[in-house]
Amino acid sequence: MKKGILILAVVSGILGACTPKEKGETPKVSVGNQIIEDLNSRYTSKAYDKTKRVSPEDLATIEEVLRLSPSSINSQPWKFIVIRSDEAKQRFTNTFKKYKFNTHTKNASEIILFANKVHFSKEDYKKRLDASVAAGRLNQKGYDKQLEAAFGFAKMVADENGNNGHWTKAQSYIALGNVLHALARLNIESTPMEGVDTDEIQKEFAKELGDDYECTFALAIGYHKDGKDYNRKLPKARMAKEDVIIEL
């Protein structure tokens, strides 16, 4: 009898150790903790291990994250060029005349070029609305209304030549914030690169970018090189809450 109680105690002890962890995955308080843990663990990698590649499954997730990114009036005014092959990495390396990121360009698993449409036009928006119709989101009445009202915003933020590149560029930073969060969840390291040479990229990737897309930043992804990535172990530094958050 005593032994029976002991067994029960051991068993329920094990169950007790198990259950809270399982339960801990679903309540919001735990999701919140997981979010903060993810964001605290992410950092900008300073050295990649050339031998470690992002898996095809993870890359597919990352590309889908980019595609699903939210944007103003669902404009999706972007194109993402995913540089994987050595040949494409060499082409990207060729664009660095002013700044040096050569170790990333060669050692990162992939580099993603973020490009935004410079003159986001009614024709561009029609293609987005066509996708909405195809998805069963929009009927003809809604289509006409959206084309008038929603596109009016894209028009309003454009200059006299129809250039609304500053607005489309802002949208591509939403995609950046979205994918940086996803990469943290996937434990994949990354390095946003704003100091790229837009003009040189325009020349080198003219065919892929097309006429009216500009690339003003890129994102290297992959896995850090052990012992070489000094930023990995450094503590995260942010302004205090009271410096950036005001509750009213």
Site for its own copies in 66-95 (CB under 8 A): 66-70, 72, 74, 76, 78-85, 87-88, 91
Shortest reach from residue 47's CB to its own copies, in Å: 17
Contact positions with its own copies (CB under 8 A) in 156-195 = 166, 169-171, 173-182, 185-187, 192, 194-195
Q: What is the per-residue binding string for its own copies in 200-239, x denoting contact by CB under 8 A?
A: --------x-------------------------xxxxxx
| 187 backbone dihedrals φ, ψ, rounded to 5° | 55, 40
Q: Taking Cα atoms as reference points, which of 54, 62, 110 lies closest to residue 85? A: 110
Smallest gap, in angstroms, from Cβ of residue 185 to its own copies?
5
The answer to whether residues 79 and 66 touch, using CB atoms and an 8 Å cutoff, is no
Angle at 186 between CA 198 and CA 174, to 5 degrees: 40
Of residues 23 and 50, the one with the C-beta less far from its own copies: 23
Amino acid at residue number 237: A
Q: Which residue is it, tokens 């005001």?
A: 246
**Cα separation of 69 and 217, whole Å?**
17
Instruction: Say if residues 80 and 116 touch (Cβ distance below 8 Å).
Output: no
Binders of its own copies: how many residues, by CB under 8 A? 93
Yes or no: say if 201 and 101 are a contact pair by the CB < 8 Å rule: no
Binding mask 99-138 toward its own copies (x if CB under 8 A, else -) reads: ----------------------------xx--xx-xxxxx
Q: Minimum distance from CB of 42 to its own copies (Å)?
A: 7
**Minimal distance in Å, beta carbon 200 to its own copies?**
16
